[in-house]
Amino acid sequence: MGLKVVFCWTDISGYMAACWRALVASPEIDSFVVAFQAKTETAFSDQLMEGIPCHLLDLEKRHDFSHIKSLAKEQNPDVIVLNGWFHRPYYRLAFASEFRDTNFVLTMDTPWWGTWKQHLAPYLLRPFLQRMSQVVVTGERSWQYAWRLGMPPERIYKGLYGIDFDALSPLWAERQAYWPKSFLYIGRYNSVKGIDVMVQAYRQYCQTVKDPWPLVCCGQGDLAHLLENQPGIKNLGFVQPQQVLNQLGAAGTLVLPSRFDPWPLALVEAAAAGLPVLCTEACGSAVELVRQGYNGWTVSSHNVEALSQGFATIQHNYDYLPTWGQRAQIFAAAYSTSLWAERWQHQLKALTTAI
């Protein structure tokens, strides 16, 4: 019998399903996932969780603490992994008497920005944080926040997310016959993701270069109308993970114009697919994966002019894009699901051995 671990998660995604599937394959870890059913904003199919022991919560049950507690208790877990502290029923599990002897692991991708709310968090969250035996973060920006929350450095681990590198990496070789002259955006269509800035910047870029490249967009949201009737922009709407692979293979560069984006996995997946990335400094995963003029290009957020110049910079460096993409893969390889599962096995076993 392996170590029993219950993941209490919010929204499912292709990358987390791939990670959990890799962990389920380990005989040393007995995993179970409690998560939300697919919701309208992401529209991921529940079929993503096929082959993963799980229970998906509908709109009513995801707020039912007694039901969630019962689901977790049935698993008799050694460890409960919590997806942040914002979902109240999950938060309350840390204080349930049934789990007095259970180890808790907190996961977080929130970056440190130094806001007044973040300065208050160590005091407001103290009882909750004292129940956490480990914190697993995405990268350097969220590590800084976890440390400022009062977690000792030896209990903070990087590597919260992983991606299906084996499925994505062959796409670089498939582009070698002809590198596509096109841009790709994947994400929600809202202000936080900078869709309005991207549309303005793309329009300006088209006016300043000869033969501008098309921009293909995959997603959905309340600003979808900004993409309509825009010359050069094609809106495919929301696409499932398998379709994302097709779009990554057909693109020349990924674009992420976010105003706020803690650690976008679209950037990591694009790098794994051998794509250069044009993004803003607000994209947390760029800290780990993008190097200016080496495998991509980073610009300031909220800045139409900077992003427009970024589009042009990518086009002017067309001959270097295959090399940039190959370099991007080297950075992304560290986030493969196999390595993700190895890291989690090590962390979880070290936790239970120490305690």
Q: What is the pLDDT of residues 70-89, one digit of tens each?
A: 999 999 999 999 999 999 99
DSSP string covering 200-252: HHHHHHHHHSSSPPPEEEE---TTGGGGTT-TTEEEEE---HHHHHHHHHH-S
CA 152 to chain centre: 25
Task: Give the pLDDT band (50/70/90) at residue 354.
Answer: low
pLDDT of 353 > 80? The answer is no
pLDDT of 112 > 90? The answer is yes
- Give the domains, in start order, of the chain with CATH numbers: 3-162+336-354 (3.40.50.2000), 166-334 (3.40.50.2000)
Identify the pLDDT of residue 43. Answer: 55
pTM more than 0.85: yes
Task: Give the pLDDT band (50/70/90) at residue 239.
Answer: confident
Identify the pLDDT of residue 39. Answer: 62
| Mean pLDDT in residue range 155-161 | 95
Give CA angle at 232 (230, 238), nearest 5°: 75
- Predicted confidence (pLDDT) per residue in 51-68, tens digit: 999 999 999 999 999 999
pLDDT of 187 > 60? The answer is yes
Identify the pLDDT of residue 44. Answer: 60
Q: Which two tokens stand for residue 115?
A: 């806001």
| Mean pLDDT in residue range 138-143 | 97
Identify the pLDDT of residue 241. Answer: 78
Which H or E run contains 36? strand 29-36
| Mean pLDDT in residue range 339-350 | 92
**Could you give phi then psi for residue 293, rounded to 5 degrees?**
70, 10
